Structure 1
Amino acid sequence: MMIFVNNGAGGYKFLEHATWNGLYIGDLVFPCFIWIMGFCIPIAITSQLSRGVSRLIICKNIIKRSCFLFLLGICLNTLGTDSQLENIRIFGVLQRFGVAYLVVGIIYAFLSKKKTKIYEHGLLAQINDCTSLLPQWIFIMSILILHCIITFCLTVPGCPKGYIGPGGLHENGKYFNCTGGFAGYIDRIVLGVNHTYQRPIIDTIYKSGPFDPEGILGCLTTIFQTFLGVQAGKILRVYKTWKGRVIRWIMFAAIYSCIGCILHFGNYIPVNKNLWSMSFVFISTAIALTLLTLCYLLVDVVEMWNGGPFRIPGMNALVMYMGHQICYQIFPFHWKFGTMNSHMWQTIAALWNVGLWTIIAYALHRKRIYISL
């Protein structure tokens, strides 16, 4: 889906990204990746802790992987450019993965016990998955509160307090230089305008100028979403029966969706991928949890499906992502026929690209080649 969307999604608007507020199918890909990364953290780190691996060694590996992700992201940002140091975009997709993994991974590694205490009776027995993460929850909630204070309580010069609109020509240009509120302001101050994304979607509509949808402030709510993945992963470890796991996942999905809908439809905090708003986090996490539950039931419980053809490309996700970015304008991955002004031809071209990378993934799998950090 990621490759399909990045190749134009057949020109279908509902499969692409929302301009500002709102949620299209293409907006769900990135948060699902973020969330599932968090889901894997308790599985991997708890296993290392139980084997007696030092917390310092675990954190060292986390820092190393995060730095590599950040560096690879910066490298991808220079594709199609002359790599002028004064203008290189600093943040991006892999960079956000790196930041979120760094913070959540270290928090989990330092605050988790080698053996989780399981309560057998009483109220605590019903929330073992939450109580085992209580220190981490306190830390993460403080990050979320910090995000709210920065977003809605601090003032951006020349802009109303708490403004989270697209700026530019929006509302007749009333808040022209206020794009993204404090999220845009902190990127301009800390990173500099030249080091942010120069061609955001909102610029084509509102003439808002440079704005980074993967900027600094959104990292805080991305960290929160990663931790929601940790919570779901903890359920997998704490509850041993498939019914116990499914009930908890569905319950959390319902809670997240209710919170997200209240925030969005109550017009408190609209769903917005560009700002990685709290409502966006809750709604996309609820969808990710629901999809995981369905896959778990089909693959592990009733055994009606083995995950193909998605499982194999997922085993080389970094290769798939970087490869399709690097080869974006190279034949045979990318081609045009005529004006390409019909959905049919655009869809064929996008599916062709997806198909080629799927074949590559299967070829790598057959040779037992897996590239990861």
Structure 2
Amino acid sequence: MITKLSSGRILSIDAFRGITILVMIFVNSVAGVDGIPSWMQHAHANEDRMTFVDVVFPAFLFIVGMSIPFAINSRLTKGDSFWQLQKHILWRTLGLLVLGVFMVNTDGLNANATGTSKAVWALLFYGSVILVWNVYTFQQRWISWVLKGIGAVILIVLALIYRGGEDGTHYLSPQWWGILGLIGWAYVYACMIYQFFKGVPGAIFLMIAACIGFYILCQQPFMENGAFSWLTTQAGNAAHTSIVLCGMLLTLFYFDEDLGLTGSRLVSRVVGFFALLVVAGSLLRPAYKLSKINATPSWCLYCSAICVAVFSLLYFLIDVKHLSRWTSFFKPAGSNPLLTYILPDIVYFGMIALSLNLPAVLGQGLPGIIWCACFAVAMLFLVKGLNKLHIRLQL
């Protein structure tokens, strides 16, 4: 083990993940509703503000950071060698990048040039994702490998036949990495940092500052041209990595037994961390205004502070006061996040393939908002049912 962490699943982390996924489904759905208030929409890139919608993606990043120490320690405890661990990290990163690229390119698919409709192509893609990344329970392992192989072949074929753009000449390519791809880059960088510095909290804190500093450096005029201009392409990844590292540091504060933070010492450390994030974000905001689209330092730091506060509240309720019965509703999504993430898209493209349309009233104003909330809850129940059918995805 790199650090000595508390054993067993942490209910507060699972609850945080499940709540974040529920809110994510809601905000993704409500984005297509007309006449919703501005506080339920993403802020534009040129605005110096953010809404709760702009905190959902960084909450995912933060939770990834909280989970990394547990995941790495678990694999080392099970006997993974150094290179086996790196193979697992790289394979997981590759999976996130591949999924991100496919999802980004779906909207731009040219049906005539591809030879199939967008809905059919997307459903085949999501079906292959389930085949490749499902956790199978067959006693005959060859059945699992056959199913994974079929899924991989379908993915390759879909990538080869894909044509996008109005003229149908664009191939499948990383126009941008998509949400999952951005998580993948931040994940691999954070894993490298955690291992290199052996989970030392002080070093992790300095690397948060280094990531923010790297972003600021990339915004300087002299970086736009010349030999180092390629570094600017990593500015956003560095900013996202800083959020992942903030989640990682909070995990060490709460669950690293070697640190031994309890009682007032734990409270003072967490409150101090929260205050530093807020103050640093405020100091940087005049120069780097709040912007999720541009992944500015102020946005990263404020969102991390919000996540620190939200998780601390959940930890107090669930792990200290043991008020945990209500978390069972979020457990299926928290333990099967990838399936929960793609499930709304499967439903959406399934409806298109079947030529099903919602009543127009559900696409506007308050009725639309209520529908999106009900849809998000329904997705959690659907995932619960799929879990019982042993459909559980794991990268």
TM-score normalised to structure 1 length: 0.72
Q: Structure 1 stretches of 5 or more lacking a match?
A: 114-131, 158-184, 191-214
Q: Distance in 2 between matches of 1:284 and 1:352?
A: 26
Alignment of 1:87-106 (within 5 A): 88=173, 89-106=175-192
Residues 321 and 186 of structure 1: CA distance in aligned 2, closer, same or farther (over 3 Å): farther
Q: CA deviation at 1:110?
A: 3.5
CA contact 1:221–1:277 (8 Å) conserved in 2: yes
- 1:41 and 2:68 are equivalent in the alignment: yes
Residues 44 and 242 of structure 1: CA distance in aligned 2, closer, same or farther (over 3 Å): farther
Residues 54 and 139 of structure 1: CA distance in aligned 2, closer, same or farther (over 3 Å): farther
* Paired amino acid for 2:340: M
Q: Distance in 1 between matches of 2:309 and 2:273?
A: 10
Q: Distance in 1 between matches of 2:73 and 2:360?
A: 54
Q: Which residue, out of 295, 307, 318, partners 1:276?
A: 295
For residue 314 of structure 2, what is the aligned residue in structure 1?
Answer: 295
* Paired amino acid for 1:78: N
* Paired amino acid for 2:80: V
Q: Which residue, out of 207, 216, 219, partners 1:148?
A: 216
Q: Structure 2 stretches of 5 or more lacking a match?
A: 1-22, 111-161, 164-169
Q: CA deviation at 1:153?
A: 3.7
- 1:313 and 2:333 are equivalent in the alignment: yes
Alignment of 1:165-314 (within 5 A): 216-235=234-253, 236-237=255-256, 238-239=259-260, 241=262, 244-264=265-285, 267-306=286-325, 307-314=327-334
CA contact 1:58–1:109 (8 Å) conserved in 2: no
Q: What RMSD in Å do the two structures reach over aligned CA positions?
A: 2.8
* Paired amino acid for 1:95: G
SS of 2:358's equivalent?
coil
Deviations, residues 64-83 of structure 1 (Å, cap 9, x unaligned): 10001100111112324133
Q: CA deviation at 1:257?
A: 1.3
SS of 2:50's equivalent?
coil
CA contact 1:59–1:105 (8 Å) conserved in 2: no
Q: CA deviation at 1:262?
A: 2.6
CA contact 1:55–1:109 (8 Å) conserved in 2: no
Larger fraction in helix = 2
Q: Distance in 2 between matches of 1:95 and 1:263?
A: 27
Q: Which residue, out of 363, 372, 392, partners 1:350?
A: 372
TM-score normalised to structure 2 length: 0.68
Residues 77 and 308 of structure 1: CA distance in aligned 2, closer, same or farther (over 3 Å): same
Residues 5 and 110 of structure 1: CA distance in aligned 2, closer, same or farther (over 3 Å): same
CA contact 2:211–2:238 (8 Å) conserved in 1: yes
Q: Which residue, out of 17, 33, 48, partners 2:42?
A: 17
CA contact 1:336–1:349 (8 Å) conserved in 2: no
The percent identity for this pair of structures is 22
